[in-house]
Chains A and B, each alone.
Chain A
Amino acid sequence: MRQITIIARRELTAYFTTPLAFVFIAIFVAMTGAFTFYIGRFFDRNQASLEAFFSFHPWLYLLLVPAVAMRLWSDERKSGTIEQLLTLPITTADAVLGKFFAAWAFCGIALALTFPMWITVNALGAPDNGVIVVSYLGSFLMAGAFLSIGICMSALTRNQIVAFISAAVVCFLFTMSGLDLVLNFFRAWAPSSLVDAIASFSFLSRFEAIGRGVIEARDIVFFVSLMAFWLFATVVAVDSKKSG
């Protein structure tokens, strides 16, 4: 646990040593705002809720979270520092978790900086703040799930761009798997149990449920076990690929 904290602290600091972190946070905050007001028609809705705000999170994460995750392992392999890191007295799992928590904390910081939205909606009306808290929690969990996919893709290649694109594609599949666009493709031939299984992997339907203020244990279990799965895959990928 001590080792994980030390690694996470180093990684989090590494984000902020380049202007990239600030650019990322600025883009995230600006985009959530722009989407909420222009595309989400925040004022026209005439509702004191952040539903419009949160409904764009999956789409923003789709592009931004792979960008946060892409350098985590591919950069280590490209610059050779992976050999330095993994010959310190730590396990591969320590390193994977340390990096993951750092990236997740970074997403948390970006998410927290959208607080002016919360203030705005409270100033304009009387929203259900319970729903908003649950939505923030759901959004944070979803960011973690996207990240765990991104970090695994990053462990599979030395090239950050490849890591970014493959992470975005896999995240896209997970986001979309509940939509008819994807499901119709499977309905044509697959048994309905498989179609249901695929649909159940959808981030979107889970996140919509959370957005209504209903956070169920099974949704939390879904996101957490998804993260556990991808992080485990990352450990396997790092171990098997480190010689390359």
Chain B
Amino acid sequence: MSAMVEIDRLSKAFGPIVAVDNISLTVKKGEVLGFLGPNGAGKTTTMRMLAGFLTPSSGTAKVCGHDVVEDPIAVKRVLGYMPEGAPAYDDMTVAAFLSFVAAVRGLEGADIQRRVHEISETVDLNGMLDRPIEYLSKGYKRRVGLAQTLLHDPPVLVLDEPTDGLDPNQKHQVRSLIKRMAAEKCIVISTHILEEVEAACTRAVIIGNGKLLADGTAEQLLARLPDHGAVTIECAAEHVDRVTASLGKVSTVGRVAQIDLGPGRNGVRAHPSSGQSIVEAVSSALRADNVPFAEVYRHRGSLDDVFRLITRGSDRAAA
């Protein structure tokens, strides 16, 4: 599949502050790329450059082959962009606003009405069409912002924090909508909610201080954690030594260490010698040696840990 978004050494400086620093990446059709980073990392600035709102200081980006610097209008045509907070003209009704965007997007006459109704069906805005936008709840407002990006059925969607400030049901709706559209489009979303990456994205990049720090699937990012794939065996204090001895016999187990699991709870943590899963091997070794244990579980780690690890600048693996 071809790359629909190609970001090439993109940088943006505001005076002395470098907001985006030499970022390169490509996104293909069918991918949902999650853009992660702490506040102020440069997510929004990158997206604004992609959408043709800001001009890059250096480097460029191509959307469906159109260059954002040389031909921003062509880029804007193939892009559906939702700015942060989904700003819309508050005094207009939903229908009037969507019709305005549809008209600017090149739709004409009866097509506008038809398309506005189709899209409000898709994002579940029915019954709200005649309401002024200022009276809508946050969730509906966000849906108006989303609807606006879909009117011209663009091949590429760039959504800046599409679920920010929504309740769990609304978040779920937006994510399922994104997943429904994913196969046909190339979607870039920014977020600082990490569960979103696992819920909706096929791939994630983490940026911090304007730099690209990590790029991969959720699973690949988790693998960066030092504890990733480690197995914890919880057992009584007197059995710790037997557990450790037993683990020593398993060939796939690397480092083994005694850990403190809290008051009155003892455990041993075994790290795999390489990337493979060791849960099976560990539990069968323990059973073979008849070592009593309370629990064996695999430490998966959370994206939150990855995020902290990477954005604190302590990610040695990223070099």
Contacts and interface: CB of A to CB of B under 8 A. Distances in A.
Interface string A1-40: 0010011001001100110000000000000000000000
A87 B87 contact: no
B91 interface: yes
Interface string A86-102: 11111100000000000
Nearest to A6: B103
A181 to B, nearest CB: 41
Contacts of B73: 89-91
Interface in B64-82: 73, 76-77, 79, 81
Interface residues on A, range: 20 to 34
A18 B87 contact: no
B241 interface: no
A29 to B, nearest CB: 24
A87 B91 contact: no
B92 A83 contact: no
B58 to A, nearest CB: 16
B51 A90 contact: no
A243 B76 contact: no
Nearest to A17: B91
B83 interface: yes
B60 interface: no
Contacts of A7: 104
A81 B76 contact: no
Contacts of A6: 100, 103-104
B48 A83 contact: yes
7 contacts: A10-B92, A10-B100, A81-B89, A83-B48, A87-B76, A88-B101, A90-B76
B297 interface: no
A81 B87 contact: yes
- Going nearest first, the 4 A-B pairs with the smallest beta carbon separation are A80-B87, A83-B83, A89-B76, A87-B51
A13 B79 CA distance: 27
A46 interface: no
A242 interface: yes
B52 interface: yes
B148 interface: yes
